[in-house]
Structure 1
Amino acid sequence: MSLYYEDVTTGSRHVTPEHEITTADIAAFCRLTRDFHPLHTDDAYARAQGFPGIIAHGLYGLALMEGLKTELRLYEESSIASLGWNEVRFVRPILAGDVVRVEMEFTAKRQSGSRPAGIITEAVRLLRGEEDLLISAEHISLIRLAP
């Protein structure tokens, strides 16, 4: 399935499959980004800071949100570019063992003034369990008009 600009309905929602966060995921993100802060690598240090153990990087959670959305294959043929993320809030820490999912809602759309494409806005939330909000953000994308 691929949504084109004309297919996007403001107010429609999508939910991704769940994903379990592992210590290996967190360690891989450390290696990839070269961010080895002890909150992400040292269980005793993280506990001394008031966390139940090591926590994932907030940016890992944000990147995972995009990856989980991609698994929905909403823009398989229609995506042109991400135009950015706004209002990103890291609400709660992400822990190894957390099972998370993304809920997204289309909140706005408009045609691009500079090219034959549309700009869509999504409210995106990373959730643990039923309603435990971990990250909230707004994502703006440029997508193709229907062929």
Structure 2
Amino acid sequence: MTTTVPGPWFLEDFAPGQVFTTQGRTVTESDIVSFAATTWDTNEVHTDSARAAEGRFGERIAHGLLGMSIAMGLVSRLGVFEGSSIALLAVEEWRFLAPIRIGDTVRCQVEILSTRRTSAGDAGVLDRRLTLFGAEEAVVQQGRIPLLVKTKTHPGAPSGSTTR
């Protein structure tokens, strides 16, 4: 089931099985260079075209964490979590399955696995599986990233909110 209603969404609006798909984004050489400079991760597989050409992938590839960061940014642009998210709770079972190459266009799919209200009752947890797709729809990264979200009954929630 694919859902395309704009947000923000609150805990009560989500249900297991909902799927959201982001727009695409092309990974550039500049993205990789900027990420290397920001993180100080200058491993030659990312930054040295001559050495990378001799390596396993035959060219420079994006940092794994750059892929995860882009996935999170794409998910943010969906709008359903903006205005209701409180905090990321973990990164679980994250796998780097294939390289992301310069020029690859990636997109992310978010599946809601489960929802539950916290014991305090003023927030809830969304268990989400994120899947990052790369060139030719190959799964390049995947894992679970639970998110703490507001409920409709939290202070400041819009009055008259209805379940989607």
TM-score range, shorter chain: over 0.9
Matches within 5 A, 1:12-27: 12-27=18-33
| Structure 1 residue corresponding to 2:148, chosen from 134, 142, 146 | 142
Larger displacement relative to structure 2 (112-121 or 92-101): 112-121
Distance 1:94 1:130, change over 3 A: closer
Output one character per residue of 1:3-49: Cα deviation in whole Å (capped at 9) or x when no partner.
10000011010100000000000000001101111111011211211
Unaligned runs of 5+ in 1: none
Residue aligning to 1:83:
89
Larger displacement relative to structure 2 (8-17 or 41-50): 41-50
| Structure 2 residue corresponding to 1:46, chosen from 29, 52, 56 | 52
| Structure 2 residue corresponding to 1:92, chosen from 84, 94, 98 | 98
**Larger % of strand: which?**
1
Matches within 5 A, 1:1-147: 1-114=7-120, 116-146=122-152, 147=157
Give the whole-Å Cα distance in 2 for the aligned partners of 1:57 and 1:115: 39
AA paired with 1:119? V
For CA contacts below 8 A with separation 6 or more, give which structure has more relative contact order: 1
Larger displacement relative to structure 2 (43-52 or 71-80): 43-52
Indicate the RMSD between aligned Cα atoms, in angstroms: 1.1
| TM-superposed deviation, 1:115 | 5.0
Moved over 3 A (4+): none
Unaligned runs of 5+ in 2: 1-6, 158-164
Distance 1:62 1:22, change over 3 A: same
Q: TM-score, normalised by structure 2?
A: 0.86
Give the whole-Å Cα distance in 2 for the aligned partners of 1:36 and 1:131: 28
Give the whole-Å Cα distance in 1 for the aligned partners of 2:124 and 2:54: 48
Give the whole-Å Cα distance in 2 for the aligned partners of 1:50 and 1:121: 35
Give the whole-Å Cα distance in 2 for the aligned partners of 1:36 and 1:118: 39
Larger displacement relative to structure 2 (123-132 or 87-96): 123-132
